[in-house]
Amino acid sequence: MDPRKDTWKEADKLEWLSRQKFQRSYADQVLARIEKLKAVGGKLKIQSYGNLSLQGRTELVIDGATLSAEEYKNRYPLYYAEVGDITNGKPNIIVTGGTHGYEESGVYGALEFLEKHAIDYSENFNFIVFPCLSPFAYEVNQRWTHDAWDPNRSFDRSKPYVPEAQLVMDVLDEARKRAGKNFAAAVDLHETPDRDKTMMPPQYQRYGINLTADDILIPNGYYLISGVTNESPEMALKIIEEVRKVTPIAPDPEIHGDKNDKGVVISQGSDPTHQGLNQAYMRTIADNSFTTEIYPEIHPEPRGSSEAIAAQVATIHGMLLGC
């Protein structure tokens, strides 16, 4: 999204913020698992890459509480895991979860992969894994940052006020230089939940695009967005093959105007409303880039959530099988 076309003023952002409630605990549900990963040691190293900040605000009033800039910073430390040595010549892989904080299976899928699988795969691959890019959005079960920006429209250098995206690019740009080569593959773990029918219209309407809930397609299953420049098209097929074992693949013939080829949607990268996508940035540093879209409500709870997490992990397995 072009910030120059944004019609929202400060009052609109504060009104949106006033309606948000803390619904999850980043400390208890994410950081606690990261602390356990720190104890693994060996090939798995947890690295700090900063903290979220209020970007010039002195405080944040939310859900009956007032957080000072320092309290907000301390509440949201940021971590990624580096598994293996990205300079050793093996294929290097990127996994990002929680770009949109409310899409929780991406967060839990990234964590589960680190906890159960990454060390085994490190015989043949190296990994950089960001389990939760947007911890504020994760806690309030929302799409946007505290300042009502979409992290998944902020992966370019024109938006320095969105640290959720900018700090990740800092880490990965430096890592690519250190490795001396492109990453072999990158995947950004997302969902398309039923809530998108209420979440998406305001995001477009504030930029003057008339979008209603009726315009929002919720595919009945998993689909994979594959970059048009990907060097290994067969990698997407391996991913679908693995994911099909744990959750249905979306049968829709078209998804957002693009052909759905047995669960694979090729992104041309030309939609102006997709400026600043995580995947668009990943295309510049990785030979193959993907975005998952999982329908968590395809089964009732708790099966839906556990199945969504399993599909995220299966995506990573398939990607590695295709490398």
For the chain, the structural domain boundaries read 3-321
pLDDT (0 to 100) of residue 12 = 95
Q: What is the pLDDT of residue 1?
A: 67
- Round to whole Å and give the CA distance between 170 and 182: 15
What confidence score (pLDDT) does residue 72 get? Answer: 98
pLDDT at 319: 98
Give helix 303-321 / helix 104-116 axis angle, nearest 10°: 60
Q: What is the pLDDT of residue 304?
A: 87
C-alpha 76/C-alpha 56 separation (Å) is 16
The amino acid occupying position 236 is: A
pLDDT lower than 70: segments of the chain = 1, 269-270
CA atoms within 13 A on the CB side of 305: 7
CATH superfamily of domain region 3-321 = Zn peptidases (3.40.630.10)
Q: How many helices (H) and strands (E) does the chain have?
A: 12, 12
Pairing of the two strands 44-51 and 77-83: antiparallel
Ramachandran quadrant class, 44 (left: phi over 0; alpha: psi -120 to 50; beta: rest): beta
Instruction: Give pLDDT, residue 269.
Output: 67
CA dist., res. 68 & res. 162, Å (int): 18
pLDDT at position 93: 98
Instruction: Single out the residue of 242, 241, 218, 198 nearest to residue 298, CA to CA.
Output: 218
pLDDT at 261: 96
